[in-house]
Structure 1
Amino acid sequence: MVELHGQCQCGQLRYRVTGRVATLFACHCRDCQRQSASAFGMALWLGDYQLTLLRGHTAQWARHTPSGRITDCQFCPQCGSRLFHQNRDTPQFLSIKPGSLDDTAWLRPVAHIWKQSAQPWLPLPADSLHYAGNPDDFADLLAAWQQAPGDCRA
């Protein structure tokens, strides 16, 4: 179990989350590129989690993913920073946008999904899992996290 702290970009929303880190991956789909205003988005999945908002509150909207799933997205209503996702078909996991964490030095994704949309100038690490689109299931991503070196995990 880990305890992680983070906040939105403007600082009006702070959170603490405890749980078991299940996996960390980068998503290169166009939706994640738009949402992050960058080359990719990242997802840190926690199981057995407890989320506490220490300051502020979130707003929420639901979106349809490129793979046809529905994701509930929570964000800061002041600055718009996306903080948490909850896929309706995997409610046992809370997905944190890990760039919002206070400590990001340990973040090393074990997989890259939606590689077919990845920016051509971005080299992807050869020692991680790669998927052209969305994986059929996330079992291999969960297993890869368990096998990652200790310095890659909180």
Structure 2
Amino acid sequence: MEPPQEKYSLKGGCQCGQVRYELAAPPHAIYVCHCRECQKQSASAFGISAMARSADVRLVSGRLEHWTRMTDSGGTLACFFCPACGSRVWHGDRDREDEVSVKGGSLDEPVDLTGAIHIWTSRKLTGVIIPESARQYPEEPD
């Protein structure tokens, strides 16, 4: 008899700890976004998104608020955050969309950026070095 397989789980949450979530499967892609909105949202040089199927994302505790903003590519984006501390935890509506972009900084384990795809590189900050081997797009990929 084979031993039972351990269930996959990647956990994360907001900065104050009131919101906790888990992913039931590994993210299928990691994006490093250099657009101006991600720079503002992260208060840093870029934003990190771990792309996951909505069905694999489960809110474990707490509650989320959201607001919607325009994107650089002309669409709209629902941004979900903790109402207590303001930390963003994911973008995209799990109830209406097939996938969401989990904010990399909200994961308990640091994200490995080795295979990350860099987007909106036309807006990257001066001095940010993107590895030559990284897939890059000057704007948003198709």
Q: What's the TM-score, normalizing by structure 1?
A: 0.79
> 1:8 is aligned with what amino acid?
C
The partner residue of 1:93 within 90, 99, 111 is 99
SS in 1 for 2:30: strand
In structure 1, distance between residues paired with 2:34 and 2:55: 26
1:53 to 37, 42, 59: 59
For structure 2, the residue ranges without an aligned partner over 5 or more in a row are 1-6
Tell whether the 8 Å contact from 1:26 to 1:109 is kept in structure 2 after alignment.
Answer: no
Q: Within 2, Cα distance between the matches of 1:64 and 1:2?
A: 34
C-alpha separation in 1, matches of 2:31 and 2:73: 16
SS at match of 2:52: strand
1:6 and 1:20 map into 2 onto residues whose CA distance is 13
Name the one with the larger strand percent.
1
Aligned residue type for 1:117: R
Counterpart CA distance in 1 for 2:111 and 2:79 is 24
Measure, in 2, the Cα distance between the counterparts of 1:60 and 1:95.
Answer: 14
1:12 corresponds to which of 7, 14, 18: 18
Q: Is the 8 A contact 1:19 1:49 kept in 2?
A: no
Shift of 1:81: 0.4
**Who is 2:89 aligned against?**
83
Q: Is the 8 A contact 1:45 1:96 kept in 2?
A: yes
Paired AA for residue 19 in structure 1: A
Identity %: 39
- Structure 1 segments of 4+ aligned residues over 4 angstroms from their partners: none
1:123 is matched with: 129
**How many pairs align?**
135
Q: TM-score, normalized by length of structure 2? A: 0.86
Matched letter for residue 3 of structure 1: S
Is 2:31–2:119's contact at 8 Å kept on the other side of the alignment?
yes
CA distance in 1, matches of 2:125, 2:41: 15
